[in-house]
Structure 1
Amino acid sequence: MHKLVVDANKKGLRLNLKELFQYKDLFLILAYRDLRVRYAQTALGLVWVFIQPLATLLIFIMVFGRAIKVDTGDVPYPLFAISGMAAWSYFAFVLAQAGDSIISAQEMVKKIYFPRLVIPLSKAVVGLVDFSIGLFLVLILMIIYGFTPSINIIYFPLFLIMAMISALAVGIWMSALTIRYRDFKHVVPFLVQFGLYATPVGYPSSLVMNNLPDWANILYYANPMVGVIEGFRWTLLGQQPPSAYSLISFSIIIILFISSLFYFKKVERIMADVV
């Protein structure tokens, strides 16, 4: 019996992937539409993509770099902070956009059939634009400070994939939960704001590990982005590799992603009726 259930789940997964591939054109259209209208009719346009991370970086420099004087080793603090911000900004964007994506597209959801998962998935592509800007700022600061990228950069794609899966996992969960419980529309901004400081974006994770007991460190690393940001800094800046606790973050990412797909599939049947 257990084998039949597993085989059925695998078959369903294959069919879902095949169906998603059949709607790849819709996926690309949604991503292109979001890119085109995001900064439409704004005076500064794409300049906003630079203003937002630079403003946050300035705040971090004043608070963590100057006031608290966080120790970042041989890495200049602005470079240290922007490398974490690049990863976090991508996660925050996809979470916010994917979490509200089904509600925002409710008219389309009601009128035509297509795999609803296409909607939150398309946000992961749109977020890569901001992420690319973040990496560009990292490169600029590396040039300014004469900092050479680490040889570990060959592992960068792996942590980029983990960042994408992490953002989509939480975003898909939120998009499905928001269908039934509209209160989650207010939870997403709180998660983004709280997570910025609960994640080692402006400070090294060692600062937390050295001042907390083991049980608290385990709880801290339950945040999926802690391990991802550690990996980003290891690949880009050659800092300490992700700690053993990072396995907790990566395990949480996989669990969240798989469970989000199953829950989304369950809710998908009633989406057109309740949005």
Structure 2
Amino acid sequence: MSKTTITSASSRKLNLKELFDYRDLFWVLAYRDLRVRYAQTFLGLLWAILQPLSTLLIFTLIFGRAIKVDTGNIPYPLFALCGMSAWSYFAFVMNQSGTSIIGAQEMIKKIYFPRLVIPLSKSLVAFVDFGIALAMTIVLLFYYNIPITPSIFIFPVFVLLNILFALGVGIWLSSLTIRYRDFQHIVPFLVQLGLYASPIAYPAALIPEKYKVLYYLNPMSGIVEGFRWAILNTPPPGVYSLISFGLVFIIFFSGLWYFKKMERTMADLI
């Protein structure tokens, strides 16, 4: 009886053909996560609406009414929700991808498939939160009678940057969590910290000039400003945003490299 051994084409290179061959598994994992997320809940998908609404209410009361953050001629609820649409996607992918490999350890130990499919599937489920937040933003655009400008055509670019950054961080965390389980506890803290370290509830213009370089080391700073420029026609991202955009690609490609480096030993480590 012959013995068949399955090996990946390369332990260090991204095999796009192999990922494409396992596209069915990608869809199945994404669909499973979507069903599990709202299974046996009374409100079901309505939670995806209530969560951003509750955050928006808190931001409006604290930053819009109490602190009275200056958002120019943009109503504060619309200003905040536009930033939250970008953040909702990133936060979900980062939170879910970080523990995705650990959560699929039984499957990883039993069968071979490109492990990258697991964190990538989380990026698809995150479009539910993103789509709802974006739809709510569009509703407020009409409510406040804010016109759509030609800058909206650049919007897909910032969506792509958001996806790449979310995946880059998610892939890094999914790899690191295998070796250092502390990251399971660190990720929720990073999500909370990142919400206030990014210009979601306030404009980046409030950051003093001497701290701008440090502030834009957080790629979400440039991405959120880009979202607002494209949707609300606020001032375009400044030169400091180039730091954010460059780091998006560095984090994404370095994450892929480290993940592929760890892939062969994942089954042993978990």
TM over 0.5: yes
Contact 2:12–2:257 (Cα < 8 Å) also in 1: no
The answer to whether the aligner puts 1:129 opposite 2:124 as a matched pair is no
On the 8 A contact 2:221/2:244 being kept in 1, the answer is yes
> Which residue identity is paired with 1:256?
I
1:274 aligns to 2:269 (yes or no): yes
Q: Which of 216, 219, 222 lines up with 2:214 in the alignment? A: 219
Q: CA RMSD in A?
A: 1.3
The Cα offsets for residues 86-142 of structure 1, whole Å up to 9 and x where unpaired, read as 100110000001111000111101100000000000111100011000011001111
1:96 aligns with 2:95: yes
Give, in angstroms, the shift of residue 224 of structure 1: 1.0
Q: In structure 2, the residue corresponding to 1:46 is in which secondary structure?
A: helix
Give the distance between the partners of 2:12 and 2:153, measured in 1 at CA: 35
2:65 counterpart residue number:
66
Give secondary structure in 2 for the equivalent of 1:41: coil
Amino acid at match of 2:269: V
Q: 2 CA distance for matches of 1:201 and 1:142?
A: 17
Alpha-carbon displacement from aligned partner over 1:33-67 (angstroms, at most 9, x marks no partner): 11122101000001100100000000100111011
Matching residue within 226, 234, 255 for 2:250: 255
Counterpart code for 2:222: G
Which runs of 5 or more structure 2 residues have no equivalent in the other structure?
Answer: 1-9
- DSSP-derived class of the 2:94 partner: helix
1:59-94 per-residue CA deviation (whole Å, 9 max, x = no partner) reads 100111011111111110000000000100110000
The residue that corresponds to 2:114 in the other structure is: 115
Shift of 1:212: 4.2
Distance in 1, Cα, partners of 2:15 & 2:53: 40
Q: Greater CA deviation, 136-145 or 174-183?
A: 136-145
State the partner residue of 1:3: none
Q: Distance in 2 between matches of 1:34 and 1:150?
A: 37
**What secondary structure sits across from 2:44 in the alignment?**
coil
Q: How many equivalent residue pairs?
A: 261
Q: Percent identity?
A: 62
Partner of 2:200: 201
Q: Secondary structure, in 3 states, of the residue corresponding to 2:15?
A: helix
Asked if 1 retains the 8 angstrom alpha-carbon contact of 2:12 and 2:260, the reply is no
| Residue 12 of structure 1, CA deviation | 6.2
What per-residue deviation string (whole Å, max 9, x for no partner) do you get for residues 174-231 of structure 1?
A: 00000000001111111100000000000000011xx241xx2111100011110010
Structure 1, unmatched stretches of 5+, are: 1-9
Contact 2:19 2:114 in 1 (8 A): yes
Residue 57 of structure 1 corresponds to 56
* Aligned partner of 2:236 among 233, 241, 266: 241
Q: Which amino acid aligns with 2:74?
A: V
Report deviation, 1:150.
2.4
Are 1:85 and 2:84 matched, yes or no? Answer: yes
Aligned equivalents of 2:209, 2:239: Cα separation in 1 = 15
